[in-house]
């Protein structure tokens, strides 16, 4: 290794406790997103609770224990914000300890660079430094470089287990761009359990599989249905598929190992599987490590609808919580309780539709069972307080285990008819009556 880089590394090397001492009362502290969220640093910062007040912490999909919340239930010393709820974040949803930041994820780098998001300190987990003096952001290139450009102090938490994810763009930073470095003692790496699709997931996935063909470029969201699609594709006769996605998941590994993904027909980034962050099993992290067939990119590239629409035959597959008869899709809250976020879903819904031959699918089981009470996920109107993740003007195709409802270009009674057709039969008559009251039903409308 270049001795100059190593000397600079040593001059910036501190302990986690020393790094945490840089935080002052009133500071805004940004943590890296997903599995790059600060872990040892947050534990060290929590020890300073009695010295600090009103420290504001932000992250996205924080998968590690939030030590600063656990030591301060009153939120007088530390308060969190999240760009997207998941994992540990959900423990504190709808409390005074953690607040949600509404946004389209593609805009996060731009919002950061426009200084609408202040950051006094930025802390992110990275790989160890390479021989050229570079640290790799590993499984999360979302907006790290943008925060580095605007934060007053930049701190790297070195994790030896972090996969080295090749770019792409904005996937790494040089030792000269870092203020302080400390080496993780825990070297933990958050992993997701492998998702096993159920019968409903597989039925929904089967409808989508029928509409796929050789050369499609696939984006998969989180959940059982996207995972089921991946497994079915791996067992199908499809070939020469491409990947351009927000999140890289285990389903892509299944498709790769089955020889289904080549990227040979992509209009841009040909032969490359493009993504912005990865979360999954340890086997998936091993797969993406130093893999030249993949390209890690910032979220303002992967999720930009203008980029997505350039890729022919783009297929976007995402999940929803509920949908109403107007075609308004809620994918992030249960009533007023935030459970995830808009993330990149709307970006991909828009981009996929504008792609030549593109298709956008939003999937959900027709019903939900809560404490023995079964209710429909397709509703006359969204649950009061539910967030509209995808406005009705952008909804393309909605899928349940009863089929596909086409919404784009449909008037209100056509939308109601198409959606009731894929609702569970036990709830269809009730929804017809509600649609009549809402004046979005015609006497000629028929349900098959």
CA distance linking residue 415 with residue 435, whole number of Å? 10
| Strand extents, DSSP E, 22-161 | 28-31, 55-59, 78-82, 98-100, 121-126, 134-136, 153-158
Q: Please count the other Cβ atoms lying within 10 Å of the Cβ belonging to residue 13.
A: 13
Please identify every residue annotated as catalytic: 246
DSSP string, 226-250: HHHHHHHHHTSS--SBEEB-SEE-H
Calpha distance 17→34 (Å, rounded): 22
What is the DSSP annotation of 369-418? EETTEEEESEESSPPTT---SB-TTT--EEEETTEEEE-TT--HHHHHHH
> Is the CB of residue 284 less than 8 Å from the CB of residue 253?
yes
Q: Is 211 helix (H, G, I), strand (E, B) or coil?
A: coil
- CA–CA dist 300, 315 (Å, integer): 19
């Amino acid at each position: 290794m270049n001795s100059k880089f190593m000397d600079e590394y040593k001059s910036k090397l501190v302990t986690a406790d020393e790094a945490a001492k840089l935080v002052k009362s009133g500071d805004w502290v940004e943590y890296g997103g997903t599995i790059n969220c600060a872990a040892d640093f947050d534990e060290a910062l929590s020890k300073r609770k009695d010295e600090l007040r009103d420290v504001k912490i932000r992250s996205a999909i924080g998968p590690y224990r939030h030590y600063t919340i656990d030591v301060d239930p009153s939120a007088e010393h530390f308060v969190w914000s999240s760009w997207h709820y998941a994992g540990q974040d959900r423990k504190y949803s709808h409390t005074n300890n953690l607040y949600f930041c509404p946004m389209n994820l593609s805009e996060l780098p731009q919002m950061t660079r426009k200084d609408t998001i202040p950051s006094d300190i930025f802390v992110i987990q990275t790989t160890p430094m390479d021989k050229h003096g570079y640290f790799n952001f590993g499984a999360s290139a979302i907006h790290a470089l943008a925060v580095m450009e605007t934060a007053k102090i930049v701190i790297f938490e070195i994790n030896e287990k972090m996969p080295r994810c090749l770019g792409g763009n904005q996937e790494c930073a040089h030792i000269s761009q870092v203020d302080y470095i400390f080496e993780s003692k825990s070297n933990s790496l958050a992993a997701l359990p492998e998702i096993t699709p159920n019968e409903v997931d597989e039925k929904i996935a089967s409808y989508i599989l029928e509409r796929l063909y050789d050369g499609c470029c696939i984006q998969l969201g989180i959940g059982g249905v996207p995972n089921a699609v991946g497994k079915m594709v791996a067992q199908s006769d499809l070939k020469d598929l491409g990947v351009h996605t927000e999140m890289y998941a285990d389903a892509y590994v299944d498709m790769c190992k089955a020889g289904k993904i080549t990227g040979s027909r992509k209009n841009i980034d040909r032969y490359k599987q493009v993504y912005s962050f990865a979360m999954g099993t340890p086997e998936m992290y091993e797969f993406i490590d130093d893999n030249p067939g993949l390209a890690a990119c910032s979220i303002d590239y992967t999720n930009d609808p203008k980029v997505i629409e350039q890729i022919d035959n783009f297929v976007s597959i995402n999940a929803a919580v509920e949908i109403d008869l107007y075609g308004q899709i809620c994918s992030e809250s249960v009533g007023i309780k935030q459970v995830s976020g808009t993330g990149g879903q709307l970006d991909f819904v828009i981009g996929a539709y504008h792609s030549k031959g593109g298709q956008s699918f939003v999937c959900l089981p027709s019903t939900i069972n809560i404490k023995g009470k079964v209710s429909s996920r397709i509703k006359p109107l969204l649950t009061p307080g539910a967030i509209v993740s995808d406005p009705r003007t952008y909804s393309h195709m909605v899928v349940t285990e009863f089929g596909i409802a086409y919404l784009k270009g449909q008037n209100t009674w056509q939308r109601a008819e198409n959606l009731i057709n894929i609702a569970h039969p036990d709830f269809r008559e009730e929804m017809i009556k509600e649609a009549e009251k809402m004046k979005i039903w015609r006497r000629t409308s028929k349900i098959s």
